[in-house]
């Protein structure tokens, strides 16, 4: 339809007609993309399968293997020129039995079990668990200032909330994540026997949030478990009045690495096949819940972009490559394997777009690149804003995505899809990150937003 309109416009204008035609053709095609994503989109249906039937899919798990198989089969049906698996060796962590965190000696409340989830990579407590007095800190620095005498033999409770005044909840998360990632080793450095970590969420509720933690080399490994924000608030209140002992038990363990895969499909470009436009998300999630927003949404965004462009019979000039990265959550083995092979082949990713901030209403894209090219290229793409702003989409400077950031030395543009951030940390790394937390229209609009940017990148290059 837009081609007829284009023809009409070309007939009307005798000067500058190419410019006018181009802009109008673009506007028409982007509208077609939106109409298609909103009426013929598959993202929600695919996400239902990925998050509910397959479920949580931590790297190394049978569910992750099933997700590889499922998305490869999906790609096979999309009429791409090539679909392949790319091997990578992933960490293999298992949660084990249901973890227990119990207040055992409070004069105020007696014994109480807290809502808890072991952090990813955490070791277990051993069969008998452990019991120790709890000491609360807000920051890693505060722990340093307490030193060995005050920390030795204790469970260190990291209780710094996300800053509620930060509008972008990812900034709030970024400001609090160090306690989850590095808390256990810092505690152990001073003789701490375990870490309890306040869940990284903007809500006060009963839902514990897992996520990666990393052991520092040369420091004894101690268990690390997250507790819900309501329980963290309770524990903190108790500690203001009396010493509190906590019993912790978990059987988490790190097993030997396993083979897994990135799933990759591409449509070869007709004019510039060596200029690659990557679109992707990460296929793995945490083991609890369904990984619906994190990052099932990003995966189905990317897959449905292909479906929508194919349905519109779009023939790209450049190569569009769809990548489901494995193991973003605890090691990024997939991203590393991808980068290594791409560099070895001398590929050029002209652009890469990662969706890993959930399936909420789109706000635009953050953009990053090697500083040598960034300003000039970024200025160029902001010329497209009149085509994107009618859909509520902005382009701004900022980070891209954990999986694609390693492609920066190839000197293309790296984009992070940016939806509304307010609800993301209600669900992030929890048992409630499931399909019912995803709004179908919001998800579909994400597909349309990403497909529109890919269309412009493909049409005009950078």
Question: 86 and 116 in contact (C-beta within 8 Å)?
Answer: no
DSSP of 428-458, one letter per residue?
A: TTSTT-SGGGS-HHHHHHHHHHHHHHHHHHH
DSSP 295-346: IIHHHHHHHHHHHHHHHTT---SEEEEEEEES-TTTT-HHHHHHHHHHHHTT
Site string for its own copies, 313-352 (x = CB under 8 A): ----------------------------------------
Q: What is the DSSP letter of 353?
A: E
If you count them, how many residues does the chain have? Answer: 462
The closest alpha carbon to 253, from 11, 91, 439, belongs to 91
Site string for its own copies, 161-200 (x = CB under 8 A): ---xx-x-x-------------------------------
Phi, psi of 141, deg, nearest 5: -60, -40
- Please report whether residue 38 would count as binding its own copies according to CB under 8 A: yes
Q: Check if the beta carbon of residue 178 is closer than 8 Å to that of residue 140.
A: yes
- For position 434 contacting its own copies by CB under 8 A, the verdict is no
CB of 219 to its own copies, least distance (A): 36
**CA gap 78, 81 in Å, rounded:** 9
Cα–Cα distance measured from residue 104 to residue 107, given in angstroms and rounded to the nearest whole number: 10
- Residue 105 interacts with its own copies (CB under 8 A): yes or no: no
The two tokens of residue 185 are 């080793």
Taking the alpha carbons at both ends of the chain, their separation in whole angstroms is 27
Under rule CB under 8 A, residue 29 binds its own copies: no
131 binds its own copies (CB under 8 A): no
- Kindly state whether residue 209 participates in binding its own copies, applying the rule CB under 8 A: no
Judged by CB, which is closer to its own copies: 363, or 408? 363
Q: 131, 138, 361, 459: which one contacts its own copies (CB under 8 A)?
A: 361
Q: Token pair for residue 179? A: 């306690």
C-beta of 439: minimal distance to its own copies in Å? 5
Segment near its own copies (CB under 8 A), from 118-126, 289-297, 314-322, 438-446? 438-446
The only residue of 108, 111, 270, 422 in contact with its own copies, by rule CB under 8 A = 422
**What SS3 state is found at 372?**
helix
Residue 282 touching its own copies (CB under 8 A):
no
Among 185, 202, 228, 262, binds its own copies (CB under 8 A): 202
- 16 burial (CB, 10 Å; 0-12 / 13-18 / 19+) is exposed
DSSP state of 190: T
| Binding span for its own copies by CB under 8 A among 92-100, 129-137, 159-167, 256-264 | 159-167
Interhelix angle 440-460/17-40, rounded to 10 degrees, is 150
Task: Calculate the alpha carbon distances from 152 to 143, 248, 350, 362 in Å.
Answer: 11, 17, 52, 48
The tokens of 242 are what? 């009396």
Site string for its own copies, 381-420 (x = CB under 8 A): ----------xx---------------------------x
Q: Which x/- pattern, by CB under 8 A, does the window 228-267 give for its own copies?
A: ----------------------------------------
**Residue (42 or 349) nearer to its own copies, CB:** 42
Is residue 35 within the footprint of its own copies (CB under 8 A)?
yes
Interaction between residue 441 and its own copies (CB under 8 A): yes
CB of 403 to its own copies, least distance (A): 27
Of 15 and 165, which has the nearer Cβ to its own copies? 165
Stretch that binds its own copies, among 160-168, 274-282, 313-321, 454-462 (CB under 8 A): 160-168
Piece of 32-40, 73-81, 175-183, 220-228 that binds its own copies (CB under 8 A): 32-40
Considering only 442, 450, 454, 456, the residue that binds its own copies (CB under 8 A) is: 442
Phi, psi of 324 (to 5 degrees): -100, 105
Min separation Cβ 436 and its own copies, Å? 11
The secondary structure element, H or E, covering residue 53 is none
Cβ-contact 242, 107 below 8 angstroms: yes
* Site for its own copies contains 153 (CB under 8 A): no
Counting residues that bind its own copies (by CB under 8 A) gives: 23
- Residue position matching structure tokens 């989109």: 41
- Mutual angle of helices 297-311 and 17-40, in 10-degree steps: 120
Residues that bind its own copies (CB under 8 A): 34-35, 38-39, 164-165, 167, 169, 202-203, 361, 363, 391-392, 420, 422-423, 426, 439-442, 445
């Amino acid at each position: 339809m837009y081609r007829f309109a284009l023809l009409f416009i070309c007939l009307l204008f005798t000067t500058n007609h190419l410019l006018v035609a181009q802009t109008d053709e673009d506007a028409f095609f982007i509208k077609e993309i939106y109409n298609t994503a909103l009426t013929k989109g598959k993202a929600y249906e695919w996400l239902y399968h990925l998050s509910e039937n397959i479920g949580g899919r931590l790297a190394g798990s049978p569910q992750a293997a099933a997700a590889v198989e499922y998305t490869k089969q999906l790609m096979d049906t999309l009429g791409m020129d090539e679909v392949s698996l790319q091997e990578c060796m992933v960490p293999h962590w298992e949660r084990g039995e249901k973890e227990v965190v119990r207040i055992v000696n409070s004069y105020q409340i007696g014994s109480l079990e807290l809502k808890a989830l072991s952090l990813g990579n955490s070791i277990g407590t051993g069969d008998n668990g452990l019991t120790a007095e709890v000491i609360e800190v807000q920051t890693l620095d505060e722990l340093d200032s307490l030193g060995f005498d005050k920390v030795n033999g204790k469970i260190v409770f990291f209780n710094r909330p996300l800053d509620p005044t930060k509008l972008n909840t990812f900034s709030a998360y970024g400001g609090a994540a160090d306690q989850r990632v590095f808390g256990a080793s810092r505690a152990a450095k001073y003789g701490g026997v375990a870490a309890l970590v306040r869940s990284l969420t903007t809500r006060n509720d009963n839902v514990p949030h897992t996520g990666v933690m990393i052991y520092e080399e040369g420091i004894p490994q101690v268990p690390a478990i997250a507790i819900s924000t309501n329980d963290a608030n309770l524990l903190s209140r108790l500690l203001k009045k009396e010493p509190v002992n906590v019993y912790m038990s978990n059987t988490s363990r790190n097993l030997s690495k396993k083979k897994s895969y990135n799933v990759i499909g591409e449509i070869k470009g007709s004019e510039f096949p060596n200029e690659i436009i990557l679109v992707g998300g990460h296929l793995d999630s945490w083991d609890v819940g369904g990984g619906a927003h994190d990052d099932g949404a990003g995966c189905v965004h990317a897959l449905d972009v292909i479906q929508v462009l194919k349905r519109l019979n779009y023939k790209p000039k450049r190569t569009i490559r769809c990548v489901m990265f494995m193991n973003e959550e605890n090691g990024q083995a997939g991203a590393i394997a991808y980068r290594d092979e791409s560099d070895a082949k001398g590929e050029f990713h002209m652009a890469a777009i990662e969706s890993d901030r959930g399936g909420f209403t789109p706000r635009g894209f953050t953009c990053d690149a090697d500083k040598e090219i960034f300003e000039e290229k970024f200025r160029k793409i902001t010329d497209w804003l009149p085509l994107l702003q009618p859909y509520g989409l902005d382009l701004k400077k900022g980070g891209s995505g954990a999986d694609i950031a390693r492609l920066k030395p190839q000197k293309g543009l790296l984009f992070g899809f940016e939806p509304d951030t307010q609800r993301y940390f209600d669900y992030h790394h929890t048992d409630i990150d499931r399909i019912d937390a995803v709004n179908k229209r919001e998800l579909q609009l994400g597909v349309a937003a990403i497909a529109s940017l890919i269309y412009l990148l493909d049409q005009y290059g950078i």
